Chain A
Amino acid sequence: ETGVTQTPRHLVMGMTNKKSLKCEQHLGHNAMYWYKQSAKKPLELMFVYNFKEQTENNSVPSRFSPECPNSSHLFLHLHTLQPEDSALYLCASSQDLAGGQGAETQYFGPGTRLLVL
C-alpha cells in the first residue's frame, strides 16, 4: 500500500464505548497529525507528533487520547465520547514539521467517519 491509510473508514459507537482509530503512513515521513472535520467548520488540528513525540495538543478533551508507537503509526483512542464528537477524523503526515522546500506538505488519509449515538 502507498500513502496514508486509516481504519476503520466508518465507525458508530455509543457514548460508553471505547474504540480506537488507526492511521498508517507508508511515505517515510517523520510527522503525523490528527484533524477533526465537522460540517460547516474548517479542519481543526487536534494533535501533532514529530519523531514519535507529541508536539501539539490543541486543547483537545481528554476523552481523545493519541498514541504514536513509531513514526509510521498513529492511533486515536476514544472513550466516553459525546454526540457532538461525531465528525470526520483525518490523519495526515509530512516529511517534517517545517523547513521549506515543501517538506511540511501534509498528505491526508481517507478519514474515519465517526457517529456517536
Chain B
Amino acid sequence: GQNIDQPTEMTATEGAIVQINCTYQTSGFNGLFWYQQHAGEAPTFLSYNVLDGLEEKGRFSSFLSRSKGYSYLLLKELQMKDSASYLCADLYSGAGSYQLTFGKGTKLSVIP
C-alpha cells in the first residue's frame, strides 16, 4: 500500500459521467476506500473495495484491480452538489499494524 496517486483536479458537466482514477502500491494491500470531502467539511465514506470488480451504489460506483494496483470512482448523472474533493485511500498492513493512507484528493468541479 501507500504511494497513492490520483489526479489533482477534474472538471465535468452537470448530467455527465466522470471517472476518477487512483493507483497505489500493491504490497501490504488490505482494501481501497473512496471518500468525498466538501470544502471545509469532514470526509464522508463513499465506498470500500477489497475484491476485484465493480461495486455499485446508486450514482456512484467503485472499481478495483488488485493485480494492477488500480481503482476508479465512477460518478454518473453528475449534480452540482457533487463538486468536492474525492479522496482515494489504501488500507495498508505491515509489521503488525494497519494504516489508512490517503492520496492528495481529486478536486472535482461540476459546471452547468
Listed in ascending order, the chain A residues whose CB lies under 8 Å from chain B are 33, 40-43, 45, 48, 55-56, 58, 90, 97-98, 100, 102, 104-111
How many angstroms from the CA of A17 to the CA of B54 in the assembled complex?
Answer: 50
CB contacts (< 8 Å) of A107 on chain B: these are 45
Q: Is the CB of A108 within 8 A of B48?
A: no
Q: Is the CB of A110 within 8 A of B42?
A: yes
A99 CB to closest chain B CB, in angstroms?
A: 9
Q: Is the CB of A98 within 8 A of B45?
A: no
B39 CB to closest chain A CB, in angstroms?
A: 11
- Per CB-CB distance, the 8 closest pairs between chain A and chain B, nearest first, are A43-B102, A108-B42, A42-B102, A98-B98, A97-B98, A42-B104, A110-B42, A108-B43
Q: 15 A-B Cβ contacts within 8 A?
A: A42-B4, A42-B104, A45-B100, A56-B99, A58-B99, A97-B98, A98-B30, A98-B91, A104-B91, A104-B98, A105-B33, A108-B42, A108-B43, A109-B42, A110-B41
Q: Is the CB of A56 within 8 A of B97?
A: yes
Q: For chain A, what secondary structure do more than half of its interface residues adopt (helix, strand, loop), or is it mixed?
A: loop
B44 part of interface (Cβ distance < 8 Å): yes
**B45, closest chain A residue (CB):** A105
CB contacts (< 8 Å) of A109 on chain B: these are 42
Q: Is the CB of A111 within 8 A of B98?
A: no
How many angstroms from the CA of A109 to the CA of B41 in the assembled complex?
Answer: 9
A2 CB to closest chain B CB, in angstroms?
A: 14
Task: Give the residues from 1 to 41 in chain B that come closer than 8 angstroms, CB to CB, to chain A.
Answer: 4, 30-31, 33, 35, 41
B61 part of interface (Cβ distance < 8 Å): no
B69 CB to closest chain A CB, in angstroms?
A: 17
CB contacts (< 8 Å) of B33 on chain A: these are 105-106
B93 part of interface (Cβ distance < 8 Å): yes
How many angstroms from the CA of A100 to the CA of B41 in the assembled complex?
Answer: 27
